[in-house]
């Protein structure tokens, strides 16, 4: 089945090119800007393209596909294919039935943040455990249909896990560049499990990006970092799914972690398109939260209102977002400005606390995802988010991605003595109440019973 086509527009100089003209590094040859995918109906001055079904027909169709047994219908990305017609042959789409992720309420986290109601869209519930799957099904399908044999990415671990899995499904060969010693074991194991050529470079993520940039100029390798605009077409679909799950209500705020800074703009694109097509009456404010040790966007917003970005040497235990020179920072600034959101930063201790709080709700996430709750607390304290507003945190990765972090936290081995001393008494008690270190006992029933009794006598936290 053939579906409608699209063009690529430079987000800096607005030059429009055909899909076949794009260079291997996905940069505009005129201004080095990044592209976005545009459709005949994007920004249509005269209203939505008449060939598209109207808003209520789309809503009906998307819901209807949920009961279909076709792989593309079972995918929470391709279910919305009417708004991402980027592949020629739908039957050859590479899918692991990504998307369709749960929307949880987090009543205890809402309370600690000081708001009435809080939701989390858990993108860690995707097939490889992170939000990257929604983008990878899209871009990998494009790569496969354009006849590439090799695909590659530089990654802090999740992109590489997703790429390796989807490449394996498609029968393509994949090369992963990761910073040696700076990604979580769960993620490293995935790229090996899915059969990628895994190259650990003795540098950081930003160094990996540089090396790969040189390679794609010389070899016919399809680049699957988030500079690839097709990734973002998949990553915009959680916006559709989210409002569908909220019965077409639009939350006031979306909060996302910021690393290489593509996901914020992908979601902003999804909301903007729904708005243009009359599916929703307004867009939510999208706020981006960075780790204090990897905060180039935060600095840029503070220092010059987002006009320029000075790369930093990144350092955070939230290794997924340990990025100092983010490729898509201009797109992220645009997402902040067009939606009216904010950029905040959170400390290592704030990340750890937020992660434990999300875990204690039975939801869990990886450290990078927990910055969202840490950031929410700050935005509420600053009066930017009010108690009655509806907030959705985008939890980007599964808790099992980085179990070493979780174990270290609960054993009280995550932070150095000096770092622990920086906490005041109240903060120390917050951590102490959440920490659940494993109890090691001899296999003696009387001993076990005594230990249980002492635990059962402790009050359950509110
Ligand atoms: N959360 C997680 C769990 C991530 O893996 C990433 C990025 C982000 C948030 C930030 O998203 O880059 O769009 O701002 N991980 C990339 C990777 C860089 O290689 O897996 P972003």
Say yes or no: CB of residue 191 within 6 Å of ligand 1: no
3-state DSSP call for residue 442?
coil
Residue 199's beta-bridge partner residues? 177
The Cα–Cα gap between 234 and 78 comes to 8
Q: Do 129 and 166 touch, CB atoms closer than 8 A?
A: no
Q: Do 298 and 328 touch, CB atoms closer than 8 A?
A: no
Between the alpha carbon of residue 30 and those of residues 11, 15, 36, the distances in Å are: 12, 9, 15
Helices (H), 310-347: 329-339
CB atoms near residue 308 (< 10 Å): 9
Q: Which atom of ligand 1 is nearest to the CA of 225?
A: 19
Token match 């204090």: residue?
A: 292
Say yes or no: CB of residue 372 within 6 Å of ligand 1: no
Token match 């599916």: residue?
A: 279
Per residue of the chain (462 residues), give pLDDT as tens: 454 489 999 999 999 999 999 999 999 999 999 999 999 887 654 455 556 778 999 999 999 999 999 999 999 999 999 999 999 999 999 999 999 999 999 999 999 999 999 999 999 999 999 999 999 999 999 999 999 999 999 999 999 999 999 999 999 999 999 999 999 999 999 999 999 999 999 999 999 999 999 999 999 999 999 999 999 999 999 999 999 999 999 999 999 999 999 999 999 999 999 999 999 999 999 999 999 999 999 999 999 999 999 999 999 999 999 999 999 999 999 999 999 999 999 999 999 999 999 999 999 999 999 999 999 999 999 999 999 999 999 999 999 999 999 999 999 999 999 999 999 999 999 999 999 999 999 999 999 999 999 888 887 766
Phi, psi (degrees; rounded to nearest 5) at 120: -130, 125
The Cα–Cα gap between 1 and 89 comes to 6
Query: How many angstroms is it from 257 CA to the middle of ligand 1?
Result: 8
The Cα–Cα gap between 125 and 382 comes to 31
Mutate to test the pocket of ligand 1, among 320, 324, 372 (most ligand atoms within 8 A of CB): 320
Query: How many angstroms is it from 408 CA to the middle of ligand 1?
Result: 22
Closest CA to 166 of 180, 178, 184, 148: 148
Q: Which atom of ligand 1 is nearest to the CA of 235?
A: 13
Mutate to test the pocket of ligand 1, among 232, 257, 319, 325 (most ligand atoms within 8 A of CB): 257
Q: What is the CA radius of gyration of the chain?
A: 22
Query: How many angstroms is it from 445 CA to the middle of ligand 1?
Result: 46
Q: Do 279 and 59 touch, CB atoms closer than 8 A?
A: yes
Q: Which residues are CB-neighbours of 335 under 8 A, at least 6 positions away?
A: 264, 265, 267, 268, 286, 288, 341
Element (H, E) at 255: strand 253-257
The Cα–Cα gap between 173 and 165 comes to 10
Q: Which atom of ligand 1 is nearest to the CA of 226?
A: 13
Say yes or no: CB of residue 157 within 6 Å of ligand 1: yes
Query: How many angstroms is it from 20 CA to the middle of ligand 1?
Result: 28
């Amino acid at each position: 089945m053939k579906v409608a086509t699209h063009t690529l527009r430079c987000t800096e100089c607005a030059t429009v090119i055909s899909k076949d003209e794009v260079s291997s590094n996905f940069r505009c040859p005129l201004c080095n800007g990044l592209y976005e995918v545009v459709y005949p109906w994007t920004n249509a001055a005269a209203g939505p393209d008449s060939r598209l079904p109207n808003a209520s027909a789309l809503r009906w169709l998307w819901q209807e596909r949920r009961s279909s047994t076709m792989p593309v219908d079972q995918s929470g990305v391709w279910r919305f294919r009417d708004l991402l017609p980027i592949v020629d042959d739908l039957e050859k789409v590479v899918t692991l039935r990504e998307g369709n992720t749960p929307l949880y309420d987090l009543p205890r986290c809402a309370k600690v943040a000081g708001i009435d109601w809080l939701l989390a869209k858990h993108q860690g519930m995707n097939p490889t455990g992170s939000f990257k799957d929604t983008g990878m099904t899209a871009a990998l399908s494009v790569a496969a249909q354009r006849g590439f044999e090799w695909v590659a990415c530089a990654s802090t671990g999740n992109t590489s896990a997703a790429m390796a899995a989807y490449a394996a499904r498609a029968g393509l060969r994949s090369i992963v560049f990761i910073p040696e010693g700076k990604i979580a074991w769960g993620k490293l194991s995935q790229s090996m499990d899915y059969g990628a050529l895994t190259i650990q470079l003795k540098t950081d993520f930003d160094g990996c990006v540089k090396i790969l940039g040189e390679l794609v100029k010389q070899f016919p390798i399809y680049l699957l970092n988030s500079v690839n605009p097709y990734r973002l077409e998949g990553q915009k679909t959680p916006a559709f799914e989210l409002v569908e799950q909220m019965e077409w209500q639009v939350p006031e705020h979306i909060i996302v972690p910021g690393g290489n800074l593509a996901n914020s703009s992908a979601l902003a694109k999804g909301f903007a398109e729904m708005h243009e097509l009359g599916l929703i009456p307004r867009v939510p404010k999208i706020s981006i939260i960075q780790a204090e040790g990897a905060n180039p966007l935060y600095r840029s917003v503070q220092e010059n209102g987002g006009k320029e970005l000075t790369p930093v040497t990144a350092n955070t235990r939230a290794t997924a977002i340990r990025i100092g020179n983010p490729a898509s920072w201009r797109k992220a600034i645009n997402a902040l400005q067009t939606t009216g959101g904010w950029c905040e930063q959170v400390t290592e201790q704030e990340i750890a606390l937020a992660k434990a709080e999300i875990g204690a709700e039975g939801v869990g996430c990886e450290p990078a995802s927990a910055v969202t709750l840490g950031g929410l607390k700050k935005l509420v304290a600053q009066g930017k988010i009010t108690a009655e507003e509806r907030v959705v945190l985008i939890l980007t990765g599964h808790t099992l991605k980085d179990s070493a972090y979780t174990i270290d936290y609960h054993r009280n081995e995550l932070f150095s003595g000096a770092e622990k001393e920086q906490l005041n008494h109240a903060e120390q008690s917050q951590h102490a109440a959440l920490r659940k270190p494993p109890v090691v006992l001899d296999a003696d029933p009387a001993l076990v019973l005594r230990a249980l009794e002492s635990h059962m006598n402790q009050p359950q936290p509110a």
